[in-house]
A and B are shown apart, each in its own frame.
Chain A
């Protein structure tokens, strides 16, 4: 590890804002030595609570994140925020505008907002997001809030990056609720009907309530808005049986209404994760996914190198268009040497 990096790590662990900012840049740019950096930080992680906020564009994610941060700050917690916005598929450029809505904590460096571009990634986060979370964690943040790209149906990477995921559903999106059903709504640990002062909020809450299966029971016991681990009777014998029913919280983020309640639900979900053993489970899944992703990206790099060796992707495409080669054969040609190499290794 270079001396420069050592200084960076020491600064970050000592709580220097500048070092944290710089470390995230190194991580984001995949600069030389970033792997050693993340590897070194890894040992200091595991203390922060990671909350993911997702939902459609304009549903109020940034404003809500701002108010959440404000509330956590009032409790004297350090808050790190990663706000991801989309990047241009044409130029790679981006306008990152989430910060504008996060003005409640101005002049307070212990609410550390970092805007990130998705840099071409399609899952609602950038590939560097998980590593940036590590930097925040090692720095000593108590809470880390990740705000995803304005999500449609399938931007569900957040579930692999956060302990607790809140999905924002704006009122009057009855149809949207339907179309979202198969994707993003499945990953919610907490539903937030933001802009709850608008017409149609009640209806949206009702539709969500039906969807999560609270339905009539919830109305009878009056606990419709409260998260609870159902099947509590069986928990004593078998914690795996306990299941979490996502609560539905109404908020008006611009006024801060419902934010305290939302934070309580986050805490309830946190306790559920601990008591049911699901936190450990999630961590295992996340580690597995992280490793897989790293392997894929490293392997991808090897393949890209190999493509360059073979004359570049353009030449290969040329041979497909003009020389009626097919992609399967080409792929085999490129990968067979790698496979053979591995086979040899295994035998030897």
Chain B
């Protein structure tokens, strides 16, 4: 019995990392992903990079979306990337960052392995579409 015809459910981890306590955006994204038919695991607030890595590995998510509004993205995101690599989980996860990220930092983050950065005012549809098109083949 083949499962070829079956559509794979996309699993996402929506994560808040670091000290910032603004989770409205993360909630909106979680809800939008749910309505798009994705399974969304929400990390909760104030998570350390190691916690995010642990969750991403155990949950075996296709997509890891990190929301950061504190400005600490240059410190926190590379830690998550390194952690994922440690568990051999980086290659087949789509890493997204959302929040207030200066243009100059975007390129650097992408170089580190972030697939896309979504700033304020991004249409939900755009993010969902991006996930659908870029979710890693497994």
Residues of A within 8 A of B (CB): 17-18, 21-22, 24-25, 28-32, 34-35, 87-88, 91-97, 99-100, 103, 106-107, 109, 112-115, 117, 119, 298, 301
Contacts and interface: CB of A to CB of B under 8 A. Distances in A.
Contacts of B55: 99, 113
Contact of A100 (B11, B44, B50): B44
Contact of B39 (A32, A93, A103): A93
- In the complex, which of the residues A17, A24, A99 has the most CB atoms of chain B within 10 Å of its own CB atom? A99
Interface in B24-48: 30-31, 33-44, 48
B44 A103 contact: yes
A106 B54 contact: yes
Interface of A is mostly: mixed
Contacts of A35: 1
Interface in B64-119: 87-89
A160 B97 CA distance: 41
Contacts of A29: 3, 6, 8-9
Given A17-B87, A29-B8, A119-B9, A106 B50 contact: yes
B54 A117 contact: no
B135 interface: no
B3 A31 contact: yes
A115 B41 contact: yes
Nearest to B55: A99
Given A99-B55, A106-B48, A113-B58, A94 B43 contact: no
Nearest to B34: A93
B39 A94 contact: yes
A230 B114 CA distance: 61
Contacts of B42: 95-97, 99-100
Contacts of B30: 95
B41 A107 contact: no
A93 B59 contact: no
B58 A114 contact: yes
Nearest to A91: B37
A94 B51 CA distance: 21
20 contacts: A18-B87, A21-B59, A24-B60, A25-B60, A88-B37, A91-B34, A91-B37, A93-B38, A93-B40, A94-B40, A95-B34, A99-B59, A100-B42, A106-B48, A106-B50, A107-B50, A112-B58, A115-B39, A115-B41, A115-B59
